Structure 1
Amino acid sequence: MQISTTLSTETVDDARLAEILANPGFGIHFTDHMFTVEWTPEKGWHDARITPYGPLSLDPATAVLHYAQETFEGMKAYRREDGSVWTFRPEANAARMARSSQRLAFPELPVDDFVAAVDALVQVDERWVPDGEGEKSLYIRPFMIATETFLGVRPSQHVTFMVIASPAGAYFKGGIKPVSLWLTEEYTRAGRGGMGAAKTGGNYASSLVAQQEATANGCDQVVFLDVAEGKYVEELGGMNMYFVFKDGSIVTPATGTILEGITRSSIIQIADGLGHQVTERRFSIDEWRDGITSGDIVEIFACGTAAVITPVGALKWDGGEVGAPASQELTMRIRQALVDVQYGRAEDSFGWMHHVV
């Protein structure tokens, strides 16, 4: 993929950038440039370019606005103490976007082109990558949208893939603390054969009303159950889940109707290296409740790109509650092992890190 570059003449000045990087928040500030490449059946992927960051001009009849044909990814670039910049498992993000593309009837962007697009943007906007103090990073958002102008239910014949980036601070302000969870018994996210395993905006849109329900009941996040029987734990509104038993074994809900998280799969390998067997299987809400009550479940944690790994506290539902697990020891050990690899403080024995700058 040949990428042309048009540099911005109105970049953020150094003083203002220093202010932003000192306290970036999450998804608030965006870098000076963006990457774009387009697809049509006649030309395939073409016109790859980096241009100044700016608004898009879309016809009111643009397909994505009406039929939600859209996928995206979330990943990060990390600056190490020596000043170099690395991304974490970009090939895995590329492969997941390809799977999402299949489900959304999109053309697949080759893995090498996905990685090259991300690399190109990070290299041009390298000064936006904050230092690693306090787990700061550059959050990267690749996404694909249907950009043909038409009204009709069929796959778009014009597709646009873009990459934007935003400096991100630590997910937890004031230190890591357990998140409280609300069990929704009214709303579900996806069923077998649906789009649960695809990273598409519709999955997140479907979680919003349930998240409002959680917030109204004083909880941080919402837990979804399976649509078929309404008793098996699937995932949170934006994170995968793990359950640690007192014998050292770990269970995570099986995939198929949930997102195959990059952090999720990485944890399986780290836990195995620490001597903890991870089983992927159906896990019922009753097993969760009974395990906490009996003391058989000693830790619960959730994971995702933004939060990395967070301990889980109390679980609440309409008419009931079980308290927080007894420990966070293994949760924090796994978290530290992962973060140390990402920031170059530990050996990358899995070959996960990709050198960009």
Structure 2
Amino acid sequence: MGEIHSEVTWEQEEEEEKEEAEAQVEIWKYIFGFVELAVVKCAIELGIAEAIEKHKKPMSLLELSSTLKCDSSYVNRIMRFLVHRKIFKTMNTNHDDYPSYVQTPLSRRLIRNGEHSMVAILLLESSPVMVAPWLSLSDRVLVNGNPSFEKVHGEDVWHYAASNLDHSNLINDAMACDAKVVVPAIVEGCSEVFDGVGSLVDVGGGNGTTMSILAKAFPRIRGINFDLPHVIDVAPKYDGVEHVAGDMFTSVPKADAAIIKWVLHDWGDEECIQILKNCREAIPKENGKVIIVEAVIEEGEGKHNKYKDVGLMLDMVMMAHTNIGKERTLKEWEYVIKMAGFKALIVKSINAVQSVIVASC
């Protein structure tokens, strides 16, 4: 027995030494965690990905620096950082004694008008308005603590956006950016949720990007894009989409079904229940449904959703940027949906951070 105890103790000590060695490296990732965001934002603002894409072949450091009108020594250091993180790749071309740079699937997401661009979301989250509340996150967590965004800016994010058009546009651009990724995934992964739907209202639909994509995918659907007046006032026109201004806490336009994407996570349970009740009032009592597009946080460590870590980070974003918002587990979604009077719900996975939750009357 004594020998077994000694062996176990040795294995435990070895594991502890391994964890200690890993911690010595890992801690620096958190000390300088902001650096990645800052450098990627720098790359977007300089237009590095666009320059390499337009070049259509491996681009040397001197070619890139000349195109960007930047100091080559600084560009070299920026690119070394980004290549190390596999955002760009290098090719040895024996040109100017420096490698040449080529795109990757990741770097193409840094092209402003690219097919899979995530630039608008990154620019929103890296804006000074959105970064500042993170510095007060600990105050938010305290008992009777103040909402971080409100503490910094004197009002919540929605009132701030209503009175600051530039920030409102950043939010709308970011939501449109997400829609261009998520809505095609919905159409491809579970188009059946739109079966039998002749009219559809997008609640909190921003500038109408979600509804415009759905209108193209399902021409039979009459689309209604519903949001606050200051949002609708600047929304572009789309074929098959009617823009309607209003307040989802008061009422929702009538339609066969409602879709609500990345809106409910901004609010607490009581607010979500009220919004969903208004949605239920707007759709047919017999076969109406609300299509909710939100993350579902998995409980426990046994499951392996590749987007789980993103969902957990989004939950921290809700804590920093909203007063009462949060990402929810399936049980938490079941609670607000059933409290709003819906009889059933089905969860469908898609290739995105969000899932599709169909709430039926």
Instruction: Say yes or no: TM over 0.5.
Output: no
**RCO greater where, 1 or 2, for CA within 8 Å and sep 6 or more?**
1
* Greater strand fraction, Structure 1 or Structure 2: 1
Normalised to the residue count of structure 1, the TM-score between the two structures is 0.30
